[in-house]
Structure 1
Amino acid sequence: MERESRLAGTVRPGGRTAKVRAAVLQATQDELVERGFDGLGMDQVAARAGVGKTTVYRRWGTAARLVTDLMTELAEQSAPPPDTGGIDDALRANALSVLGAVNDPRLGATFQAVIAAATCNEEAATALRAFYTRRIAEWAEVVDAAVGRGELPEGTDGPELIRAVSAPLYYRLVVTREPVDEVVAERAAARALAAARAGAFIGAPGG
């Protein structure tokens, strides 16, 4: 998952509607960072965004739907995987991009808040799943290209390989609460690549 862009300072063209959405999503992210999902209130978001409460309630309805729209926006802002020319560099870039995202004070706090919310709120879980499904699919194209070049065995499951790169990073971030640094990220990429070259990711998940 490529380093995800901060929402701050981005306003899509399209007039007042687009500006209102950008302001509300910016405020949503600010509130998530400061208060977490449990402290995310529609009224506070509206006040912070300088938008009428009725507009926020009418367009989004619930705090969970604000988070869903925020995750959609973050996914749309994310840069595509780089054309590195080789699967070694591509997986390393993937690991380092995840590292950059989770260690970013603002973006990392956003993800941690949504991950925490996803454990008990189905709408938050759906938003998080949609975000990562999209990013994994984009990076899986890099794996498919590597298979086409003969760098990886035929039948290598791209999404599963991409998940394997970032899984150790998120385990440390969310479960054990350990620091995640560049050494950890590069080792995760190298180990996933070694497993892929040995055929560990051939076939469908669970097959």
Structure 2
Amino acid sequence: MEIKECVWYTSKQPDLLHLYGQSFSGSMGPESEDSKGFSNYVTFFLTPENNKMGAYALHTETKDKTAALDKLVNEKMGKTDYHYRSKEFTHQVWHKDGAYYLLTTNSSVVNLGEKTITGDLTVISEQSPVFLAWFTSGGGFSYYGEYLKEKQKPEHQGKNYSYKDFIEEEKAKGTFMGTTYFDDYVQ
């Protein structure tokens, strides 16, 4: 299956914008029925073959809700499997209880003339490889996506092969990506 075959639904309904009992509803500007209006929102991703949710993503546009999301997820999830940080972005991954949790924050955004920090928490079932491949194929998670591909190779099966192991191998090989994999890697 390809990602173009999948279906997604997006909503800014306050009742759907809760995580661990905390509300993430909010907006930076005027809202209307047909636009997100710089609102926080949630997207549910479904696979058409079984009509089951394979992933969901919570997007925050407001500084306060992004800070609350970052704090909440880090408190609930603990130590990351992957953490990349640059001046403007953070990308973190946790793999727990049959799901991948991908958290991004972006401090380079200006909405309606106001500087803000946006956030995206994407939760992907490990039973949904099409979504995992899609969400780790670009941006700050592409390095983690490359690691997941490498981890699937026969020589790593049945072994504890971490992202740190991956970047050490890439460093030793003089990878085509240069030092990109590990320059801003946190842990």
TM-score scaled by length of structure 1: 0.30
Higher helix share: 1
Higher RCO, 1 vs 2 (CA within 8 Å, ≥6 residues apart) = 1
Query: What is the TM-score when the length of structure 2 is the normalising length?
Result: 0.32
* Higher share of residues assigned strand: 2
Q: Specify the structure having the higher radius of gyration (Cα).
A: 1
